[in-house]
Amino acid sequence: MTPIRNYLQENRYGYNRIVVMFVAVGLLALVLAVRVGYLQISQHDRFEELAQSNRIDLVPLPPVRGLIYDRNGEVLAQNFLVYNLEVLPDKVQDMDALLDQLGQLVELKEDDLERFRALLKRRPSFERQTLRANLSEKEASRLAVNLHRYPGAEFRARLQRDYTRGNLTAHVVGYVGRISADDLEQIDNNKYRGLEYIGKNGIEAFYETTLLGKSGFKQVETNAHGKIIRSLEQVPPEAGKVLHLSLDIRLQEKAMELLGGYEGAVVAIEPATGDVLAFASMPGYDPNPFVNGIGKKAYGELRTSDRRPLLNRALYGRYAPGSTIKGFMTLVGMQKGVSPHDRVFCNGYYRLPNGKRRYRDWKKTGHGSVDAHDAIEQSCNVYYYQLAKRLGIDSMHEGMGQFGFGHHTGIDLLGEPSGLMPSRQWKQEIHQQPWTSGETLIIGIGQGYMLITPLQLATVTATLANRGRKVVPRFLTAIENPQTHTWERLPPEVTGRVAGNNPQDFDYVIRAMRDVVHGKKGTARLSGRGLRYEMAGKTGTAQVKKVGQNETYREEETEKRFRDHSLFIGFAPLDDPKIAIAVIVEHAGGGSRIAAPMARELLDYYLIERLGLFPPEDADTDTGNRLARLD
């Protein structure tokens, strides 16, 4: 029997289910609406802040600065790991409060704060700025524990420059320093994203673009607190190139040791290439404190020191060359047709025709009859007074200029000054006065207005050693790619030859300069005793204080700052010169007494110990102190 269905009851059940479903859906919709309203109305400010704060950030990846080596592979400038305290200004609401709080954890000097505030005004707020570099272990530990309490403050590992030989290379390699507000106006900021340092002087400044490398970047997503959520993309930085210099740090060390307590400079050059082997300026200073900003007190002591350690005497010191120019004057005379065999009688002084003033020789009794060879060997002033009178200042200016007197050398350092080879025009423009015959005479012995730097003096000496071939002095000899370790070696830069002199002229002058050291009457003959090789040289004594006609110069009675400078130039070996040298020692007296023995000892050290060209000999080479004033 078929059951009878109750359609009415079934319809009622279906209707009830539909009602329940709609009620449930309505309740869920109401809950959703309430939640949406809560989020959009009550939590609107919070989520707007999160939406604005979450963003894609480009984190700069600074490159590793290129290393610097000497000619034998000894590192002169390197990088080591330090910890820095940095601030991301975008994440800081109250900068003054943050600085006060951080100052309780680490030492913040006024210099640090001044520099930091200056950079805040110059650099974008989304770039991290270093507040304090090179944290101590205790400071780093305190920061590591408390840094989470200070949004915007970060604790980062960075590479910092280190100069391994300190004061030995300060005047050559120079140093890097913090990028200053003035630097920011000069540089391309995009190239220095994430970088704190820039070359300030020396090789570091001259080859800044080569050493710098190229910054990379990392694209990251950060939250409202600046924390990195994830990395999206990365372009690695390119390390700076490695520089290989011509400098021989052992020879440099020897030169600084010999200068000792004196103020002065030594420059040594390889004549064939122009490679600068030594570039010593005494006193020196430690460049490492300058990297992160030297304190005002320490800097003030360097600036006000009577010895002027910040002065790069080898590059910027300008001195009267004294008798060191006499060989060059002889060559200029030959250019103008003056025979070196013409003899002059020296009775101890020279007077211009119808003149009363006596232009004195260093030897009161005179040298008797001398030719150019004798005049160079014995450093006879009277011969060169007469030669200068015969040539005139115009010919001297032109001829000496060919060797490089009065010109820049072109070395790879910034700010090289020119020397001064005066002329009629120069005096008229500078002093508004006409040139005089007496001024011509004293220029003939390297005094008066004439000035030269130790670098320029070494460079013209190298030209003489090359028999007139002129080479530009340089420090950089090779550039190394740190990724591939391939080297680009740089050829010497030859700028031509001295015009007007034949090889026989150079041979004549060089033989005379050989006898300065090896001859019986040579002014540096005691410094030449026991030499294992032949060398050419010339002593020089440069007056600092003018001595009147009726006055006699007595060194022991003269205040030190007015005493004569001691000079010497030379090169060796005679037949194949490997080194040309210029030594200038301030206020040390005659050139044969101090500068010549220094040069002898340096040449011995380089040729015998460094190059091994000659067998060593157990002989006392420190003969300089036994030599009386000759020149």
Is 42 a residue of the active site? no
Residue 557 token pair: 């009675």
Examine residue 451 and state whether it is found in any structural domain, yes or no: yes
Any residues with CB less than 8 A from the CB of 256 and at least 6 apart, and which? 167, 168, 280, 282, 284
Distance between CA 419 and CA 397 in Å, rounded? 12
User: Could you give the CA distance from residue 251 to residue 263 in angstroms, rounded to a whole number?
Assistant: 18
Please give the average per-residue pLDDT across 423-443, as a whole number: 95
CA-CA distance, 26 to 302, in Å (whole number)? 84
pLDDT at 192 over 50: yes
| Residue labelled with tokens 């200016």 | 397
Domain residues for the domain of 529 are: 250-282+312-617
pLDDT digits (tens, 9 = 90+) for 363-407: 999 999 999 999 999 999 999 999 999 999 999 999 999 999 999
User: 619 near 530, Cβ under 8 Å?
Assistant: yes
Q: Is residue 115 part of a domain?
A: no
> What residues contact 240, with CB distance under 8 A and at least 6 apart?
63, 64, 65, 66, 210, 211, 212, 213, 482
What CATH number does the domain containing 276 carry? 3.40.710.10
Query: Contact at 8 Å (CB) between 66 and 233?
Result: no
Structure tokens belonging to residue 195: 């970088």
More confident residue, 119 or 465: 465
The pLDDT assigned to 276 comes to: 98
Does residue 195 contact residue 117 with C-beta atoms inside 8 Å? no
Q: How confident is the model at residue 622 (pLDDT cuts 50, 70, 90)?
A: very low
Closest residue by Cα to residue 440 from 452, 453, 450:
450
Q: How far is 584 from 259, CA to CA, in rounded Å?
A: 9
Q: Is residue 608 part of a domain?
A: yes
Distances (CA, A) of 241 to 64, 144, 248, 486: 9, 34, 20, 10
DSSP 3-state of 627: coil
Cβ proximity of 540 and 319 under 8 Å: no
Chain center to CA of 131: 27
- 287 within 8 A of 298, measured Cβ to Cβ: no
Task: Between 436 and 56, name the one with better pLDDT.
Answer: 436
State yes or no: pLDDT of 626 exceeds 50. no
Judge whether 578 lies within some domain. Answer: yes
Catalytic residue among 215, 246, 323, 379: 323
Residue 458 lies in a domain: yes
Candidate ranges 102-106, 582-586, 621-625; pick with highest mean pLDDT: 582-586
**Do 527 and 599 touch, CB atoms closer than 8 A?**
yes
To the nearest whole percent, how much of the chain has pLDDT over 90? 60
With residue 153 as reference, give the H or E element that holds it: strand 153-163
Q: What is the distance, to the nearest Å, from the Cα of residue 440 to the centroid of all Cα atoms in its chain? A: 36
Cα separation, 229 vs 56, in Å, equals 10
In a domain, 591, yes or no: yes
Report yes or no: 113 and 87 within 8 Å, Cβ to Cβ: no
Is the residue at 459 inside a domain?
yes
Number of domains in the chain: 1
Q: Is the pLDDT of residue 225 over 80?
A: no
pLDDT tens digit sequence for 65-91:
999 999 999 999 999 888 788 787 877
pLDDT of residue 223: 59
Residue with tokens 């500078």: 430
* H-type alpha helices, 89-156: 95-102, 110-122, 137-146
Between CA 383 and CA 371 the distance in angstroms is 8
For every residue of 534-567, DSSP letters joined together read --EEEEEEE-SS---TT----GGGS-GGGSPEEE
Mean pLDDT of 485-497: 95
Domain membership flag for residue 84: no
